[in-house]
Amino acid sequence: MKRTIKTLVAAGVVGSTAVLAGAYFGVVNVGADDPHFPAVHAFLTMARDRSIEVRSRDIEVPNLDDQALIRAGAGNYNSMCIGCHLAPGVAETELSQSLYPAPPNLAKIGVDGNPSAAFWVIKHGIKATGMPAWGKSMGDEYIWGMVAFIDQLPTMDAKQYQALVASSGGHQHGGGETQMHNHEGQHGDNKPGHHGNSGGGEDHHGTGDAGEPGHHDAAATDSEGGSAPKAGHHSDMSGDDHHAGDEASSNGGDHHAEQAPNASPKTHTHADGKEHVHES
């Protein structure tokens, strides 16, 4: 018996040493495009599911049929989730195809019969999956709104989805909202053409139906077209010369600009220190 125990202990030590050595020398490929071995995948899936089940079992579920709750969840889901979890009529996105493990298509499975688990996952996230812990910026009532909406998601078609989003308050969860994670309509209203913008959708750099700026929008104006454009080295405004300076620029304008008719001769000094006269 003692010999058996010693053998098992020795085998455990050797195995642990081999695993540590493999990790240290880079044998483990952590690339998201290299799937886990089946045994590793099965173990991680079991660990994830059991962890969520144990931690969510005592969560009390509110009335998920509350229309105000569903409507509020629609705006947040459309702003925060469709890039990974899709929506009715939304094709796969760059994120949904590139993440590993692949995020579930919630337009098909909804809360999968377990709203308390969905609430826990949205609030706490899941390590090493790309699923954020939204509870760091969202109150529970807003998370329940998302759960209520996701529960209804598989019953909707694209028109119903868009109508519900349009009737919502958009991206709102009581403060702390940012624009960085907005994936709303990020693929040209989810139609062919990465930078398309048709049918009231949102260009990858534009604004969506819910009034939220796109994923790469700046807080005020974007480099692709703000409300107050300024003349630059390559600007072409009001028929000006390709290299014309801005009249309001700090250097007082181009020294070769035309003078007004009947103006007196003007002089200016070049770098050689000599004055040169320009006749009008």
Does this model's pTM top 0.85? My answer is no
Which CATH class for the 38-167 domain? mainly alpha
Cα–Cα distance between 148 and 67 in angstroms, integer?
Answer: 9
The pLDDT assigned to 230 comes to 39
Give phi and psi for 235, each to the nearest 5. -75, 155
Q: Pairing state of beta strands 275-278 and 266-269?
A: antiparallel
Please count the CA atoms within 13 angstroms of the CA of 168 that sit on its side-chain side.
30
Host H or E run for residue 44:
helix 38-56
Cα–Cα distance between 244 and 259 in angstroms, integer?
Answer: 15
Cα–Cα distance between 122 and 3 in angstroms, integer?
Answer: 50
- Helix locations, 212-265, DSSP H: none
CA max distance for the chain: 115
The pLDDT assigned to 278 comes to 47
The pLDDT assigned to 181 comes to 53
Task: Tell me if residue 202 falls in helix, strand or coil.
Answer: coil
Instruction: Give me the average pLDDT of each 10-residue run along the chain (280 residues).
Output: 87 92 92 94 97 97 97 96 96 94 96 97 96 95 98 97 96 80 46 37 37 37 38 39 38 40 46 47
The pLDDT assigned to 179 comes to 72
Question: Closest by alpha carbon to 52, among 120, 115, 113, 112?
Answer: 120
Task: Tell me if residue 131 falls in helix, strand or coil.
Answer: strand
The pLDDT assigned to 2 comes to 83
Question: Closest by alpha carbon to 98, among 28, 36, 191, 34?
Answer: 34
Contact criterion met (CB below 8 Å) for 78 and 87: yes
Cα–Cα distance between 256 and 278 in angstroms, integer?
Answer: 9
